[in-house]
Amino acid sequence: MPAAEDDLKTEKAIAGESLTPFGSCPIPIFDHKRIVLGHGSGGKLTADLIDKIFLPAFRNPTLDKLDDQAVLTIGGARLAFSTDSFVVTPIFFPGGDIGRLAIHGTVNDLAMSGARPLYLSVAFILEEGLAVDDLRRVVESMRAAAAEAGVKLVTGDTKVVNRGKGDQIFITTTGIGVIEHDISISADRARAGDKIILSGYIGDHGMTIMSQREGLEFEGAIESDCAPLNGLVSAMLATASPANDFIHTLRDPTRGGVATTLNEIAKHANVGMVLDERTIPVRESVKGACEVLGLDPLYVANEGKLLALVVPEMAGAVLEQMRQHPFGQDAVIIGEVVENHPGMVLMKTEIGGTRVLDVMFGEQLPRIC
Amino acid sequence: MPAAEDDLKTEKAIAGESLTPFGSCPIPIFDHKRIVLGHGSGGKLTADLIDKIFLPAFRNPTLDKLDDQAVLTIGGARLAFSTDSFVVTPIFFPGGDIGRLAIHGTVNDLAMSGARPLYLSVAFILEEGLAVDDLRRVVESMRAAAAEAGVKLVTGDTKVVNRGKGDQIFITTTGIGVIEHDISISADRARAGDKIILSGYIGDHGMTIMSQREGLEFEGAIESDCAPLNGLVSAMLATASPANDFIHTLRDPTRGGVATTLNEIAKHANVGMVLDERTIPVRESVKGACEVLGLDPLYVANEGKLLALVVPEMAGAVLEQMRQHPFGQDAVIIGEVVENHPGMVLMKTEIGGTRVLDVMFGEQLPRIC
């Protein structure tokens, strides 16, 4: 896709216009001189920032894979290494808080390489004036979340910024996990034929945050799905299989949702995907909230769900394993990887049509995690 | 020291009063309900936050050591793991910028365990409106700093917060290093008899930031000493020695300066220290700036200096090794560890008296790193 088209899209996305992926403009009429909220969305603008600023400077084979974690070999041990900053607002919400999110977010990024998460570091940036009781509550939640995930917090840092130069509390967690099997799980390993498994209902986390922020009340309470997925992944990897290499890719669809995550995989692996809309589980309450706010649940963040690309002959067995785990009981096959239209995700809609699911362009839901 | 006395001191420190460590008040008349800037100072209030909020929740043997890095054993490899957030303002300053600081800060924390730093993660929290050119300049500086230190940036994250909810750019770096020798280097290993070596001039970084912030000009420009210390540490560890275990403790005196760092070591190891003021190298320009601003260089942050506690029979040889390294050419012995007055650092002053060097109480220099 030429740069000019990218720029047009970016501008349109910022203006809130709906876009088809086939729009085109020969002249670059828009260029970012300033960071906008969309640069943190996990969508197209974030990818731009990575492609144009970070990768050219930091380029190396590990980083170039653009997985959510680096896989390193040190002294014979295969390790996963991952970092995330959390800036969610509000800091407390139904189903979780910024502390729980910060622990499980990094635990999940490690788990998506098939690693067993072991150790976390925690760095706090506190705003002057933060209630110490709120900090205590966040820290207690982190303790409980770490215990639930079976990880240890072993080192940390605290900085304080002046009032009005932060927003209560930002948390950066970084984790180390150990990879104890020979399977190489990575976005670029997706292959035509793979079944796409989704571990459960989508959109819960994002719509919980949006509802809280907008002060909306919906029939049927919505709660964040924030949860540690390392146990589920470990159960999946334990599926009895004749061949070792049955899970090609694992990803947790956080910022940008299922649609953006699948697009990233399709582009990295240069494969197409076809989804069946009817199979994708969305709660009525989340559907309702999305309709009110004009959002598509496929682009809404999840914090306790995963997508797995599994060789077709093992998909049924992996699904069975998942359904026996509390965080996978609603797991379903939502589509498959195909050779056609590489880099593109198509969806068969409920009414029998086909639409292109593109990556999210701008900032649908700022500061969702 | 009873809690009541702590609270009085804290209050006095916030009010800017000078304190002797022997003041006392039987009633707790002050209690923090809100985070203040001093909680990020690296001094007494930071220690309070760690003791009262973080340690009770996260307690484990690795964290309890309270070194600037965790030492972990995974799959037979001994690893160092360390994290720091950087919130310095201004983000560009003579001798460096927030990017260089973020790389070398974490490289140095790893090196202080005697580890060889290998991999870094980088998490950005950007404020909406940040000039993309400023981001590019910071990223380029990080690239150069990583190359200088010989480390690779292998994974990262970017979040964007609304204008007025951040301050241009915050960076959290987390590093992994490998420990390739048998020496156990830790704050709690300081022993009576150890010589205290300081690697060069103190106060350069802190006074550079303060001068920039206050718009002060001094005779003789001051530049931040921001530098990677892993090469210097590696040279020190290579000193020919009959016994393996000749360096007990390494620390870089950042927030809180030399005085706070030595106090922390004295308390952890339950030893006393005696310094000789005449030996401590301070540039005239830094001395002058400190006088104007009413600061003591012993409490001012450094970003390219280290303190080493070395067994007496090896101190001379280690010092020689250091002086042959560009970042150690002004290294000197500034004092020694003693059995008397455990937990306390005393300094023989230039005019022949003795003063107690206590930890920094409040916030002498907010957002210095």
pLDDT tens digits, A284-310 = 999 999 998 889 999 999 999 999 999
B63-75: burial string, b at 16+ Cβ within 10 Å, e else: bebbbbbbbbebe
Contact B136, A189 (CB under 8 A): no
Quick one: average pLDDT of A77-81? Answer: 95
pLDDT at B1: 35
* CB neighbour list of residue A242: distance below 8 Å, 6 or more residues apart: none
pLDDT at B168: 98
List the one residue out of A256, A255, A299 whose CA is nearest residue A84: A255
Quick one: average pLDDT of A343-352? Answer: 94
Full pLDDT tens readout for chain B, 369 residues: 333 333 333 333 333 333 333 333 333 334 579 999 889 888 888 888 999 999 999 988 888 877 888 999 998 899 999 999 999 999 999 999 999 999 999 999 999 999 999 999 999 999 999 999 999 999 999 999 999 999 999 999 999 999 999 999 999 999 999 999 888 999 999 999 999 999 999 999 999 999 998 887 766 689 999 999 999 999 999 998 888 899 999 999 999 999 999 999 999 999 999 999 999 999 999 999 999 888 999 999 999 999 999 999 999 999 999 999 999 999 999 999 999 999 999 999 989 899 999 987 666 678 999
pLDDT digits (tens, 9 = 90+) for A222-274: 999 999 999 999 999 999 888 889 999 999 999 999 999 999 999 999 999 99
B73 touches chain A (CB under 8 A): no
B140 touches chain A (CB under 8 A): yes
* Residues belonging to chain A: 369
In angstroms, the CA B263 to CA B256 distance is: 10
pLDDT at B171: 98
Burial of A37 (0-12, 13-18, 19+ CB in 10 A): buried
Identify any residues that bridge with A356 across adjacent strands, giving them in sequence order: A346
In angstroms, the CA A303 to CA B338 distance is: 53
Rounded to 5 degrees, what are φ and ψ at B174?
A: -135, 140
- The interface residues of chain A toward chain B in range 119-138, judged by CB-CB distance below 8 A, are 119, 121-133, 135-136
pLDDT digits (tens, 9 = 90+) for B232-267: 999 999 998 888 899 999 999 999 999 999 999 999
List chain A domain ranges: 3-62, 65-178, 187-357
Q: Which residues of B touch A140 (CB under 8 A)?
A: 57
pLDDT digits (tens, 9 = 90+) for A97-128: 999 999 999 999 999 999 999 999 999 999 99
**Helix or strand (DSSP H, E) at B156:** strand B152-161
pLDDT at B18: 33
How many CB pairs below 8 Å do chains A and B form together?
A: 278
User: Which amino acid makes up residue B358?
Assistant: D
Contact A211, A286 (CB under 8 A): no
Rounded to 5 degrees, what are φ and ψ at A356?
A: -85, 130
For residue A80, the chain B residue with the least C-alpha distance is B155
pLDDT at A64: 80
Contact A306, A229 (CB under 8 A): yes
Cβ within 8 Å, pair B132-A32:
yes
Contact B230, B108 (CB under 8 A): yes
pLDDT at B363: 60
- The interface residues of chain A toward chain B in range 192-251, judged by CB-CB distance below 8 A, are none
pLDDT at A219: 62
Cβ within 8 Å, pair A81-B57:
no
Q: Which residues of B touch A70 (CB under 8 A)?
A: 119, 121, 154-155
CATH topology of domain A187-357: Phosphoribosyl-aminoimidazole Synthetase; Chain A, domain 2 (3.90.650)
Q: Residue B162 is encoded by which pair of tokens?
A: 């609304």
Contact A117, A107 (CB under 8 A): yes
Q: Is the peptide bond before A366 cis (omega within 30 degrees of 0)?
A: no
Tally Cβ neighbours within 10 Å of residue B353: 9
CATH topology of domain A65-178: 60s Ribosomal Protein L30; Chain: A; (3.30.1330)
- The interface residues of chain B toward chain A in range 303-362, judged by CB-CB distance below 8 A, are none
Nearest to B154 among A63, A75, A153 (CB): A63
pLDDT at A320: 98
List the one residue out of A150, A171, A205 whose CA is nearest residue A99: A171
Tell me, what's the ipTM?
0.90
Distance from CA of A55 to the nearest CA of B (A): 10
Quick one: average pLDDT of A185-208? Answer: 97
**Helix or strand (DSSP H, E) at A57:** helix A55-58
In the predicted model, is pLDDT for residue A280 greater than 70? yes
List the one residue out of A146, A155, A159 whose CA is nearest residue A99: A146
Q: For chain A, give the mean pLDDT.
A: 89
Contact B277, B324 (CB under 8 A): no
**CA separation (Å) from B255 to B185, B252, B268, B355, B360?**
21, 9, 18, 21, 9
Distance from CA of A92 to the nearest CA of B (A): 17
Contact A297, A287 (CB under 8 A): yes
- Where is mean pLDDT largest: A49-58, A69-78, A195-204, A352-361? A195-204
CATH superfamily of B69-178: PurM-like, N-terminal domain (3.30.1330.10)
pLDDT digits (tens, 9 = 90+) for A12-38: 333 333 333 333 333 333 457 999 988
Contact A154, A186 (CB under 8 A): no
- The interface residues of chain A toward chain B in range 14-43, judged by CB-CB distance below 8 A, are 32-41
pLDDT at A218: 67
pLDDT at B11: 35
Identify any residues that bridge with A34 across adjacent strands, giving them in sequence order: B131
User: What is the band of A45 on the pLDDT scale with cuts at 50, 70, 90?
Assistant: confident
B167 touches chain A (CB under 8 A): yes
Contact A197, A332 (CB under 8 A): yes
In angstroms, the CA B234 to CA B228 distance is: 11
In angstroms, the CA A38 to CA A36 distance is: 5
For residue A135, the chain B residue with the least C-alpha distance is B53
B55 touches chain A (CB under 8 A): no
Q: What is the DSSP string of B186-220?
A: -GGG--TT-EEEE-S--SHHHHHHHHHHHT---SS
List the one residue out of B113, B32, B169, B212 whose CA is nearest residue A130: B32
